Protein backbone atom coordinates (compact mmCIF):
# COMPACT_ATOMS: atom_id res chain seq x y z
CA UNK A 1 0.00 0.00 0.00
CA UNK A 2 2.66 2.55 1.08
CA UNK A 3 6.40 2.14 0.60
CA UNK A 4 7.65 5.14 2.56
CA UNK A 5 8.03 4.26 6.29
CA UNK A 6 6.90 7.74 7.38
CA UNK A 7 3.74 7.42 5.28
CA UNK A 8 3.05 3.96 6.74
CA UNK A 9 3.50 5.30 10.28
CA UNK A 10 1.24 8.26 9.60
CA UNK A 11 -1.43 5.89 8.22
CA UNK A 12 -1.25 3.80 11.42
CA UNK A 13 -1.59 6.92 13.57
CA UNK A 14 -4.55 8.12 11.48
CA UNK A 15 -6.23 4.72 11.84
CA UNK A 16 -5.83 4.87 15.63
CA UNK A 17 -7.14 8.44 15.68
CA UNK A 18 -10.30 7.56 13.75
CA UNK A 19 -10.96 4.23 15.52
CA UNK A 20 -13.95 4.06 17.88
CA UNK A 21 -13.24 4.77 21.56
CA UNK A 22 -15.07 1.62 22.62
CA UNK A 23 -14.65 -1.76 20.93
CA UNK A 24 -17.06 -2.71 18.18
CA UNK A 25 -19.13 -5.88 18.54
CA UNK A 26 -16.81 -7.59 16.06
CA UNK A 27 -13.73 -6.65 18.09
CA UNK A 28 -15.38 -7.91 21.30
CA UNK A 29 -16.20 -11.20 19.56
CA UNK A 30 -12.67 -11.61 18.17
CA UNK A 31 -11.03 -11.31 21.62
CA UNK A 32 -11.61 -14.36 23.81
CA UNK A 33 -11.12 -12.69 27.15
CA UNK A 34 -9.52 -9.74 28.85
CA UNK A 35 -7.43 -9.73 32.01
CA UNK A 36 -9.15 -7.54 34.57
CA UNK A 37 -7.09 -8.08 37.74
CA UNK A 38 -3.38 -8.32 38.46
CA UNK A 39 -0.95 -9.09 41.28
CA UNK A 40 2.29 -7.28 41.96
CA UNK A 41 4.57 -9.34 44.24
CA UNK A 42 7.25 -7.18 45.82
CA UNK A 43 10.33 -9.28 46.59
CA UNK A 44 12.99 -8.54 49.19
CA UNK A 45 15.83 -10.45 50.82
CA UNK A 46 14.30 -11.03 54.23
CA UNK A 47 17.69 -11.17 56.04
CA UNK A 48 18.91 -7.93 54.45
CA UNK A 49 17.76 -5.06 56.69
CA UNK A 50 18.17 -2.47 53.94
CA UNK A 51 15.96 -4.41 51.51
CA UNK A 52 13.41 -5.24 54.19
CA UNK A 53 13.20 -1.58 55.21
CA UNK A 54 12.85 -0.49 51.56
CA UNK A 55 10.06 -3.02 50.97
CA UNK A 56 8.15 -1.99 54.08
CA UNK A 57 8.61 1.70 53.27
CA UNK A 58 7.24 1.09 49.76
CA UNK A 59 4.27 -0.77 51.25
CA UNK A 60 3.50 2.10 53.61
CA UNK A 61 3.71 4.55 50.70
CA UNK A 62 1.18 2.42 48.81
CA UNK A 63 -1.19 2.47 51.78
CA UNK A 64 -0.79 6.26 52.08
CA UNK A 65 -1.51 6.77 48.37
CA UNK A 66 -4.61 4.56 48.56
CA UNK A 67 -5.86 6.69 51.48
CA UNK A 68 -5.19 9.85 49.43
CA UNK A 69 -7.14 8.48 46.44
CA UNK A 70 -4.14 8.19 44.11
CA UNK A 71 -5.14 4.67 43.09
CA UNK A 72 -7.30 1.78 44.23
CA UNK A 73 -4.98 -1.13 44.90
CA UNK A 74 -5.06 -3.51 47.86
CA UNK A 75 -1.90 -4.72 49.58
CA UNK A 76 -2.54 -8.06 51.27
CA UNK A 77 -2.47 -7.57 55.05
CA UNK A 78 0.34 -10.13 55.40
CA UNK A 79 4.00 -9.50 54.67
CA UNK A 80 5.86 -12.78 54.13
CA UNK A 81 9.21 -12.62 55.92
CA UNK A 82 10.07 -16.10 54.66
CA UNK A 83 9.55 -17.89 51.36
CA UNK A 84 5.92 -18.93 50.90
CA UNK A 85 4.13 -20.82 48.15
CA UNK A 86 5.90 -20.25 44.85
CA UNK A 87 7.82 -17.20 46.11
CA UNK A 88 11.49 -17.94 46.95
CA UNK A 89 12.23 -14.98 49.25
CA UNK A 90 10.39 -12.43 51.39
CA UNK A 91 7.47 -10.84 49.60
CA UNK A 92 4.09 -9.22 49.78
CA UNK A 93 1.25 -8.99 47.33
CA UNK A 94 -0.54 -5.95 45.94
CA UNK A 95 -3.77 -6.48 43.98
CA UNK A 96 -4.59 -4.06 41.18
CA UNK A 97 -7.70 -3.96 39.00
CA UNK A 98 -7.34 -3.13 35.32
CA UNK A 99 -8.86 0.31 36.00
CA UNK A 100 -5.80 1.23 38.12
CA UNK A 101 -3.15 -1.03 36.57
CA UNK A 102 -1.35 1.66 34.55
CA UNK A 103 -1.03 3.97 37.53
CA UNK A 104 0.14 1.09 39.77
CA UNK A 105 2.66 -0.05 37.15
CA UNK A 106 3.98 3.50 36.79
CA UNK A 107 4.25 3.87 40.56
CA UNK A 108 6.21 0.63 40.95
CA UNK A 109 8.44 1.41 37.96
CA UNK A 110 9.41 4.77 39.43
CA UNK A 111 9.58 3.80 43.11
CA UNK A 112 10.79 0.19 43.42
CA UNK A 113 14.45 1.12 43.92
CA UNK A 114 16.51 -2.10 44.03
CA UNK A 115 13.49 -4.32 44.75
CA UNK A 116 12.27 -6.86 42.21
CA UNK A 117 8.57 -7.06 41.42
CA UNK A 118 6.80 -10.01 39.84
CA UNK A 119 3.68 -8.97 37.92
CA UNK A 120 1.11 -11.54 36.83
CA UNK A 121 -2.53 -11.64 35.77
CA UNK A 122 -5.29 -13.27 37.80
CA UNK A 123 -7.10 -15.89 35.76
CA UNK A 124 -8.30 -19.45 36.36
CA UNK A 125 -4.84 -20.77 35.39
CA UNK A 126 -2.49 -19.86 38.29
CA UNK A 127 0.49 -21.92 37.13
CA UNK A 128 0.45 -20.30 33.69
CA UNK A 129 -0.17 -16.87 35.24
CA UNK A 130 3.03 -17.29 37.32
CA UNK A 131 5.15 -18.69 34.47
CA UNK A 132 4.47 -17.71 30.86
CA UNK A 133 2.29 -14.68 31.63
CA UNK A 134 4.65 -12.91 34.06
CA UNK A 135 6.68 -9.78 33.69
CA UNK A 136 9.31 -8.41 36.02
CA UNK A 137 10.48 -5.05 37.22
CA UNK A 138 14.06 -5.67 38.32
CA UNK A 139 15.89 -8.97 38.42
CA UNK A 140 13.71 -12.07 37.99
CA UNK A 141 13.68 -14.90 40.52
CA UNK A 142 12.91 -18.58 39.95
CA UNK A 143 9.35 -19.44 40.96
CA UNK A 144 8.39 -22.83 42.44
CA UNK A 145 5.52 -23.64 40.10
CA UNK A 146 4.87 -26.96 41.87
CA UNK A 147 3.33 -24.92 44.72
CA UNK A 148 0.54 -23.74 42.39
CA UNK A 149 -2.46 -25.64 41.06
CA UNK A 150 -2.90 -25.93 37.31
CA UNK A 151 -6.41 -24.51 37.54
CA UNK A 152 -8.50 -22.60 40.05
CA UNK A 153 -12.26 -22.84 39.75
CA UNK A 154 -12.89 -20.05 42.27
CA UNK A 155 -14.88 -17.15 40.87
CA UNK A 156 -12.69 -14.36 39.56
CA UNK A 157 -12.87 -11.10 41.45
CA UNK A 158 -10.62 -10.89 44.50
CA UNK A 159 -12.28 -7.85 46.12
CA UNK A 160 -15.94 -7.74 44.98
CA UNK A 161 -16.77 -4.93 47.42
CA UNK A 162 -14.71 -2.51 45.30
CA UNK A 163 -16.75 -3.25 42.14
CA UNK A 164 -13.60 -3.11 40.01
CA UNK A 165 -11.86 -5.61 37.77
CA UNK A 166 -13.84 -8.82 37.38
CA UNK A 167 -16.41 -7.51 39.91
CA UNK A 168 -17.24 -4.36 37.96
CA UNK A 169 -20.96 -4.24 37.16
CA UNK A 170 -21.63 -4.77 33.48
- Summarised one tens digit per residue, pLDDT across range 116-147 is 999 999 999 999 999 999 999 999 999 999 99
Q: For residue 73, give its domain range.
A: 37-167
Buried b (16+ CB within 10 A) or exposed e, 58-72: bbeebeebbeeeebb
> Would residue 18 count as lying in a domain?
no
- pTM for the predicted model, two decimal places: 0.84
> Would residue 13 count as lying in a domain?
no
> Would residue 8 count as lying in a domain?
no
Task: Band the pLDDT of 16: cuts 50, 70, 90.
Answer: confident
Closest to 145 measured CA to CA, from 131, 165, 158, 124: 131
> Would residue 29 count as lying in a domain?
no
> Would residue 7 count as lying in a domain?
no
Q: What is the CA radius of gyration of the chain?
A: 19
Report the C-alpha gap between 112 and 58 in whole angstroms: 7
- Summarised one tens digit per residue, pLDDT across range 48-99 is 999 999 999 999 999 999 999 999 999 999 999 999 999 999 999 999 999 9
> Would residue 6 count as lying in a domain?
no
> Would residue 145 count as lying in a domain?
yes
CATH number for the domain spanning 131: value is: 3.30.70.1240
Total domains in the chain come to 1
DSSP-based three-state secondary structure for 2: coil
> Would residue 19 count as lying in a domain?
no
Report the C-alpha gap between 65 and 139 in whole angstroms: 25
Largest CA-CA distance found in the chain, in angstroms, rounded: 60
Amino acid sequence: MFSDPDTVQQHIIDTAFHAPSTPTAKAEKDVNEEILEWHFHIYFFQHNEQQKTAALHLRQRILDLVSEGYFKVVPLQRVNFDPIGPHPIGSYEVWAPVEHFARAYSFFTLNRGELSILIHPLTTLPRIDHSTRVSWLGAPFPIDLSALPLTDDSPLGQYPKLKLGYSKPK
